[in-house]
Structure 1
Amino acid sequence: MITQADFHPARWLRGSHVQTILPNLLRPRHSIPLRRERLELPDGDFLDLDWAPTMDGPLVILFHGLEGSSRSPYAAGLMRRLHDQGFQALTLHFRGCSGEPNRLPRSYFAGDTGDMAWVVEQLTQRFPERPVAGIGVSLGGNALLKWLGETGDTNPLSAAVAISVPFDLDKAARRMERGLSRLYQGYLVGRLRRSTQAKCRRMPLPIDCTALPQLRTFRQFDDAVTARLHGFRDVDDYYGQCSCRQYLHGIRTPTLILHAIDDPFMSPEVIPTEPELSSTVHLELAHHGGHVGFVEGWGRYWLERRVPHWLQQSLTMSV
């Protein structure tokens, strides 16, 4: 089902770039103390979890976006609000995103569902009496929706939320090569280059490390680095296999997708149509909101209101 979101920004906040940039530059930091836990993976690598203070409610796992972490403004805001609402919130850091480089000659990518599945399995074994929900943001949202669609009825999550998801990775990457979106691309690809250069200095990688300075676009970086590190033939093979849009029809978990039509990280053509969604997926579209923005006014963030409210309703019904 596709409906119109009840997000209404202040008149001076309707621009897509204002919505995207403002929360990252001016958002007040009302973060809560976090406890870090390291999980050792079967392949010899590790994942870091950041836990909000202990609560007795359902577990809600946040899967961050590209180069994000629990310190990202959207993550800190959601974690705080979820904690205030009685949820046991935690952030799963993808490999290499917790502030410490991961050990193996690989990283994370938009279709990396294996690590999230392994972590959820560990948590459901540890807390068998609690429902578990997932929130995926941008790249993390793409991976979450892909995993939900791949696993269908066997997925262990009781509910899921996906925010500002690229849906079609190729179309999203090509959109980032146009207009002001190139500024976001330059910033993010620059961070990816630097982290990869640091990894090149620590261990041998199956890529041409000398070519990293010439990689300026997502497609170039994903072709030369992401695809090669993670077993894909090339960038088209990576995008083709990992775009979540093709998996949406297989989702059986109650799932809310929140998306802005003016998201500068992608064009409206990436947004799925209603026939592509399963009956358990509810897509709420807003005319404004930018990329993971949704700022209603000064200090008021719609995501922090909408996400906990929907989870409260969904998880109560699932118990």
Structure 2
Amino acid sequence: MSWDYQSPWWLPGGNLQTIYAAKVARHFKNTDTQWARERWATPDGDFIDVDWLHTPDAEKDAPLLVLFHGLEGSSHSHYAQAFAAEVQQRGWRLALPHFRGCSGELNLAPRAYHSGDHEEIAWMLSQFRLQHDGAMYAVGISLGGNALMRWAGEQGHAASGVIDGIASVCSPIDLTASGHAIDSGFNKRVYARMFLASMKPRALQKLHQFPGLFDPHALMRVDTLYGFDNVFTAPLHGFKDTDDYWQRASAKPGLASVRVPALVLNARNDPFIPADCLPTPRDVSDWVQLWQPATGGHVGFVAGAFPGHLADMPRAVVEWLKQASI
């Protein structure tokens, strides 16, 4: 199965396709998406908030889709709403676990979340598996997709005992290449600034919880994701520095070890992810399928006549997961 996506003529360029999808397109379709929140206690004394899509018509053993969000994402993100609409149409169930600190409430431990958090993915998927006996799939968006693919590479054949299929969407599986791309030129002025505007205040809340955790003056001086990761993300999660973090957390080197049906979807005009760093068939196992359309931006993939919609990508990804597990 393949997906022949082409962006609409009226929405040219990776930046417009990225920004329009996130800020404009989702508002054109009214949805009655409702979530029910469940709090899970983690083994280290912290918590994870899981939002379950309200699907009263879904059978108990209907397939479950677990959606891992991207950097600073949540169940309010545009892609979460788009996948929710697709799942509702199919009569499936959907759960979105929030990475620590992303559910609207500060987490308790002296840590946050990061792009290679495959141990966290492993624990969350194991909890979903304990609750659900039917078919189970997982999709990771951007950061969440890198962590998911990192997990699959670590697990090898064992992953098939937990999940029936996985997909990453616009994930920076080469974190070094993507990090430097976000930190330069237009991307730095727009996207890096946007991310830092929410990441810095949250980091300072964490410092208030744990005085001395990092240097607040160093944090306030940073204007790049590289600098933020050097002060906050890397040291809090056991990495020497940003370079060590980006190298060890990247999913790309592990794609050859994946042994569960896996889809890796990346637009070649994604402003965050240089096309020349994307995996080729030589980089992946036979279990991995690569979709690399020429357009789509970063988690964009707007389709149809103006004003467009976001339904095509979730439909194609979910259908691939269903077909790949047959």
TM-score band by shorter chain is over 0.9
In the other structure, the counterpart of 2:129 is 124
In the other structure, the counterpart of 1:308 is 318
CA distance in 2, matches of 1:279, 1:13: 35
In the other structure, the counterpart of 1:137 is 141
8 Å contact 1:206–1:228 — kept in the other structure?
no
In the other structure, the counterpart of 2:298 is 291
Shift of 1:210: 2.4
Shift of 1:249: 0.3
Shift of 1:205: 4.6
Deviation by residue 1:158-188 (Cα, 9 ceiling, x = unmatched): 1011100111111111111222211101111
8 Å contact 2:207–2:213 — kept in the other structure?
no
Number of equivalent positions: 313
Shift of 1:31: 4.7
CA distance in 2, matches of 1:124, 1:117: 10
Q: Flag as ranges the 4+ runs of structure 1 deviating above 3 A.
A: none
In the other structure, the counterpart of 1:24 is 22
In the other structure, the counterpart of 1:69 is 74
CA distance in 1, matches of 2:7, 2:17: 9
Equivalent position SS for 2:10: helix
Structure 2 unaligned regions, length at least 5 = none
In the other structure, the counterpart of 2:185 is 179
8 Å contact 2:65–2:136 — kept in the other structure?
yes
In the other structure, the counterpart of 2:271 is 264
CA distance in 2, matches of 1:281, 1:205: 43
CA distance in 2, matches of 1:213, 1:43: 29
CA distance in 1, matches of 2:90, 2:263: 18
TM-score, normalization by structure 1: 0.94
Structure 1 unaligned regions, length at least 5 = none
Q: Residues 74, 31 of structure 1: CA spacing in aligned structure 2 closer, same or farther, 3 A cutoff?
A: farther
CA distance in 1, matches of 2:32, 2:154: 34
TM-score, normalization by structure 2: 0.92
Letter in 2 for 1:162: S
CA distance in 1, matches of 2:63, 2:106: 30
In the other structure, the counterpart of 1:159 is 165
In the other structure, the counterpart of 2:49 is 48
Residue identity over aligned pairs, in percent, reads 37
CA distance in 2, matches of 1:157, 1:237: 29
Deviation by residue 1:84-135 (Cα, 9 ceiling, x = unmatched): 21211110100000011000110000001122211211221222x3121100
